[in-house]
């Protein structure tokens, strides 16, 4: 039997045929509810548009919209009739939705959605996970790219593909892994452990590899002289197509449409890389000029925070995941766009818009931000006194 057996669509009924499968509806609703709760809590504390910005809410909504279009809209019913529609589902789940969801800052929204009592424990859990080799390996761009390729190709081998058509649970697994592999790929690009410039460069290469193997798969499907999936070919005639013509359309969607979308994404990363490179060059020139100017009086910089370790502070910032929200010079992978950049923070006169920028006030702010500014979007991660001292020592090197 076919998935959703008995549900046949036509040009007259297709636009009213929506899929309300409980698992898909529940997962989409739960994810959206958690995200919106986090946005509401963050904006209530910090003001609308702060912490999680409006554009991030918008792109996350577009990502959820792409998932709804793939799984709940009439496209899902049409995918039972046409291979081309089924391939469109896969493109939406594997290529369109993932970057939109990752750009929406779901990690920050999730932190704010968690009750305060569990928020610190959750943050500590993820901070510990980030240190483990398995997590670092899993979220590395090469690993994510290979996993993404393996998932895409595995589900288009005739055996697994037709098994998914017959068994709803396997079909759900197929869609979940396509979406999950895409999210992992984009997480490795946008939240890499290297500098933003290096992460963008690696991301361009990663997307180029993804585009190559995806278009190769599409070409194989489109240029084949016989249908690959007999179970998928039963509905083509009702739409005026032969099974082979339907397969050729599906292959072209993977080959041309998906390849074009990935080319746009790679081009966007290239422009971002160019912008960051230009900014980095300007900073390098300025730093060199300053070094030449003050060579005569140069001396080793001492930490202005007694008992604080600059190196431990840098490691703490990386381990606690501060770079997922802030850009922090010298901290691997710290190029977040959610919060303000910490470049030059030691030279600023005010902290949190109200405190004089002194080591003591900086440590107070790091240890418990809401106690100083109740409407801040920065959560209390219960940083210990020594860690706050070490982090302050590092931040005071950023002039």
List pLDDT tens digits, range 91-143.
Answer: 999 999 999 999 998 988 888 888 877 776 776 676 666 667 777 888 889 99
Confidence of residue 3 (pLDDT cuts 50, 70, 90): very low
Q: Rounded to an integer, what is the distance from CA 135 to the centroid of its chain?
A: 15
Domain with CATH 2.60.40.420 in the chain: 310-395
Length of the chain in terms of residues written: 399
Multiple choice CATH, 310-395, 2.60.40.10, 3.80.30.20, 1.10.760.10, 2.60.40.420? 2.60.40.420
Q: What is the pLDDT of residue 315?
A: 78
Q: Looking at the predicted structure, is the pLDDT value of residue 300 above 60?
A: no
pLDDT confidence tier of residue 280, bands split at 50, 70 and 90: low
Nearest CA to 219 out of 164, 259, 159 is that of 259
34-58 average pLDDT score: 84
As a whole number of angstroms, the distance between CA 184 and CA 187 comes to 5
Higher pLDDT, 44 or 217: 217
Query: Distance between CA atoms of 365 and 372, rounded to whole angstroms?
Result: 7
Q: For residue 241, is pLDDT > 50? A: yes
pLDDT at 365: 80
∠ CA 240-157-155, nearest 5°, is 90
State how far the Cα of 237 lies from the Cα of 258, in Å rounded to an integer. 26
How many Cβ atoms sit within 10 Å of the Cβ of residue 222? Answer: 18
Q: Do 131 and 319 form a contact (C-beta atoms < 8 A)?
A: yes
According to the model, what pLDDT value does residue 353 have? Answer: 64
Dist CA 126 CA 135 (whole Å): 10
334-353 pLDDT, tens digit each: 666 556 777 778 777 777 66
- Residue 334: per-residue pLDDT: 66
322-341 average pLDDT score = 70
Which has more confidence, 333 or 372?
372
pLDDT digits (tens, 9 = 90+) for 24-37: 899 999 999 999 99
pLDDT value at residue 64? 97
Residue 31's contacts (CB-CB under 8 Å, 6 or more residues apart) are: 64
Q: How far apart (Å, rounded) are the C-alpha atoms in residues 321 and 334?
A: 8
pLDDT at 226: 92
Confidence bin at 294 (pLDDT 50/70/90) = very low
Could you tell me if 107 and 324 are in contact, meaning their C-beta atoms sit under 8 angstroms apart? yes
- Residue 175: which residues within 8 A CB-CB, separation 6 or more? 70, 71, 89, 93
Residue percentage of the chain with pLDDT more than 90: 38
Are 195 and 330 in contact by the 8 Å Cβ rule? The answer is no
* Burial of residue 306 (number of CB atoms within 10 Å: 0-12, 13-18, 19+): exposed
Over the stretch 133-155, which tens digit does the pLDDT of each residue have?
777 888 889 999 999 999 999 99
In degrees and rounded to multiples of 5, residue 236 shows phi and psi of: -60, -40
d(CA 180, CA 213): 18
- Work out the mean pLDDT of the chain and round it to a whole number: 81
Higher pLDDT, 249 or 301: 249
Residue 101 has a pLDDT of 96
**DSSP one-letter code for 350:** E
CB 199 within 8 A of CB 189: yes
Query: Pick the residue with more confidence: 273 or 59?
Result: 59
Q: Please, what sign has the CA dihedral across residues 120, 123, 125, 128? A: negative
The two tokens of residue 144 are 């994510």
Residue at token pair 């993820």 = 126
pLDDT value of position 180: 96
Cα separation, 119 vs 49, in Å, equals 22
Which of the pair, 397 or 299, is modelled with greater confidence? Answer: 397
- Backbone phi and psi for residue 106, each to the nearest 5 degrees, phi listed first: -65, -25
Predicted confidence (pLDDT) at residue 60 exceeds the cutoff of 80: yes
- pLDDT > 70 fraction of the chain, expressed in percent and rounded: 79
Which two three-digit tokens encode residue 330?
């010298």
Which runs of E-coded beta strand occur in the chain? 350-351, 355-356
Q: How far apart are CA 344 and CA 350, in angstroms?
A: 12
pLDDT at 5: 41
- Average confidence (pLDDT) over 239-266: 93
Write out pLDDT tens, residues 367-385.
Answer: 878 777 766 667 777 788 8
Q: Name the DSSP class of 96.
A: I
Measured CA to CA, the distance from residue 182 to residue 101 in angstroms comes to 10
In this structure, what are the phi and psi dihedrals at residue 333, rounded to the nearest 5 degrees?
75, 5
Let me know: does 361 contact 225? Beta carbons within 8 Å.
no
pTM beyond 0.75: the answer is: no
User: Whose CA is closest to 35, among 55, 20, 50, 52?
Assistant: 52
Nearest residue to 218 via CA among 174, 198, 181, 248: 248
Distance CA 109, CA 235 (A): 42
């Amino acid at each position: 039997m076919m998935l959703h057996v008995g549900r046949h669509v036509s040009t007259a009924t297709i636009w009213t045929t929506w899929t309300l499968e409980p698992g898909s509806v529940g997962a989409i609703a739960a994810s959206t509810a958690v995200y919106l709760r986090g946005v509401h809590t963050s904006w209530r504390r910090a003001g609308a548009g702060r912490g999680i910005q409006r554009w991030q809410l918008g792109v996350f909504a577009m990502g959820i919209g792409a998932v709804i279009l793939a799984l709940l809209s009439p496209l899902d019913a049409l995918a039972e009739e046409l291979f081309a529609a089924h391939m469109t589902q896969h493109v939406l789940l594997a290529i369109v939705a993932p970057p939109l969801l990752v750009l929406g800052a779901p990690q920050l929204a999730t932190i704010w959605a968690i009750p305060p009592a569990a928020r610190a424990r959750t943050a500590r859990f993820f901070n510990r996970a980030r240190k483990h080799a398995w997590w670092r390996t899993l979220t590395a761009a090469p690993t994510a790219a290979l996993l993404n390729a393996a998932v895409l190709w595995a589900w288009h081998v005739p055996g697994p593909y037709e098994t998914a058509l017959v068994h709803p649970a396997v079909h759900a697994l197929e869609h979940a892994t396509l979406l999950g592999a895409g999210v992992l790929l984009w997480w490795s690009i946008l939240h890499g452990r290297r500098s933003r410039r290096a992460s963008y460069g690696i991301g361009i290469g990663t997307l180029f590899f993804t585009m190559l193997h995806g278009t190769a798969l599409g070409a194989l499907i489109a240029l084949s002289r016989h249908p690959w999936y007999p179970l998928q070919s039963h509905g083509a005639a009702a739409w005026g197509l032969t099974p082979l013509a339907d397969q050729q359309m599906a292959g072209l969607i993977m080959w041309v449409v998906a390849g074009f979308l990935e080319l746009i994404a790679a081009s966007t990363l290239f422009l971002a890389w160019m912008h960051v490179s230009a900014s980095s060059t300007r900073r390098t020139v300025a730093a060199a000029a300053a070094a030449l100017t003050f060579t005569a009086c140069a001396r080793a910089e001492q930490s202005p925070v007694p008992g604080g370790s600059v190196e431990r502070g840098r490691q703490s910032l990386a381990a606690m995941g501060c770079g997922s929200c802030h850009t922090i010079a010298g901290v691997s992978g710290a190029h977040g766009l959610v919060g303000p950049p910490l470049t030059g923070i030691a030279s600023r006169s005010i902290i949190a818009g109200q405190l004089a920028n002194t080591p003591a006030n900086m440590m107070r702010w790091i240890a418990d931000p809401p106690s100083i500014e109740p409407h801040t979007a920065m959560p209390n991660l219960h940083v210990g006194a020594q860690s706050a001292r070490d982090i302050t020592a590092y931040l005071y090197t950023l002039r």
